[in-house]
Chain A
Amino acid sequence: MDKLVLGAALQVGDMLIYLILFVLMFVIVMKYAYGPVSKMMAKREDKINGDLDYAEDTRKKADELAAQREGELKNTRSEATQIVQNAQKSGETQRDQIITQAQSEAQQLKTNAQKDAEQARADALASARDDVAQLSIEIASKLINKELSASDQQALIDSYIEGLGDTNGTR
């Protein structure tokens, strides 16, 4: 018998047995234990990676949304101030307009009233003048019993009435 180490016989059969044993064991372990477990490990790794990616994505989106909202808020605030300013300005211009309009209307009314008053006074003066002339002529004609021609004495009467009108005016 072939001798190898420390007098042990060379058992080639054992080598064969161990080769078969090892291959069998390898196949069984791979198929029923290592395979499923390592597959699960790979799956878990994938899932964790996916979850991490997803979380990062979500956070990025949330950040973007927050920034967008912040910007919108700022916009809104400035818009609001703009609106208030516009309202103030338009209110002021409207007020000015109304005031100037009112002033001009009042001026108009005042001038109209003055004009009317002037007209009325002139009319009244004219009619009074006529009446006074008539009356004075009648009175004079009755006094001197003499027919006076109104037209002849017109200048005289007018001068009197002018004096009357002056006293009236100063009063």
Chain B
Amino acid sequence: MNEKSPVVSFMGLNFDLSNDISGIIAALMVLAFVFYLSRHPSLRPSKKQNVIEWAIDFVNGIVKSAIPGEEGRKFYGLAFVMFLFIFMANQLGLFLQVTVGNTNWVKSPTSNPIVTMSLAAIVLLLSHYYGVKKWGFGQYLKNYARPVAFLTPINILEEFTNFLTLSLRLYGNIYAGEILLKLLAQFMHSFGVVSFVPGALLEMVWQAFSVFIGSIQAYIFVTLAMVYISGKLEQE
């Protein structure tokens, strides 16, 4: 529980190596997943192609529900990659936790608030970018005074709360899941076989539930990301 993260300082920036390594592993998992499924796409889809097409359709459905029509088309790819990355990142810590000595090297990268905030920042910066691109900077600013002028402070505040809720929801869910996993692992080791068997059973149950939570959280993250982007593209 008292594991430390391997932090190194480089050119004045702090790097948490456990985050970086886990993130790279999750990204490689995403790449392996899509590469495995998308070789030689054809008009008559193979089984593998059906799987990735189902995933694409699923994510496209998320985008369409928030941004209907042609406008949402350019976010299909972003939503797809974001969904797969968060999904893989959430699952990574469930089957792979590498702790050497007192230092944790591999975990779910999404169990760190910096990582989830980075992802949320990517989404929200893109939402502002597309908002300015669509309306022009003046109109983009005026949109904060919609639907009525006195809501402007709340609208501005909302930008920050959006960012925090989007990132901390994901972080909280995955972090709590990992803490419980580690607690159960400690419990397994505490009294030998007496605690190992029930502990292992509990661990499996919790892992299964965490798979579910990880999938749901990836879905929620992408859904909300698209809702925030669509909020910048529409005028109330």
Name A's B-contacting residues (CB within 8 A): 1, 4-6, 8-19, 21-22, 24-26, 28-30, 32-34, 36-41, 43-44, 47
Contacts and interface: CB of A to CB of B under 8 A. Distances in A.
A24 B24 CA distance: 11
Contact of B112 (A8, A41, A44): A8
A14 B5 CA distance: 12
B114 interface: yes
B31 to A, nearest CB: 6
Nearest to A2: B14
B199 interface: no
A33 B34 CA distance: 6
Nearest to B85: A25
A16 B121 CA distance: 11
B43 A43 contact: yes
B229 interface: no
A72 to B, nearest CB: 42
B113 A4 contact: yes
B114 A4 contact: yes
Nearest to A48: B43
B66 interface: no
B128 to A, nearest CB: 15
B137 interface: no
Nearest to B42: A40
Contacts of A10: 14, 114
B53 A12 contact: no
A13 B14 contact: yes
Most chain A CB atoms below 10 A, which of B38, B42, B43: B38
Nearest to B121: A15
Contacts of B78: 26
A34 B118 CA distance: 23
Given A1-B14, A37-B52, A21 B24 contact: yes
- Enumerate the 6 nearest inter-chain pairs by beta-carbon distance, A residue then B residue, closest first: A13-B13, A33-B34, A13-B15, A33-B38, A18-B118, A40-B41
Contacts of A38: 56, 76
Interface in B65-84: 76-78, 80-81, 84
Nearest to B10: A13
A18 B76 CA distance: 20
A1 B80 CA distance: 36
A15 B30 CA distance: 19
A12 B14 contact: yes
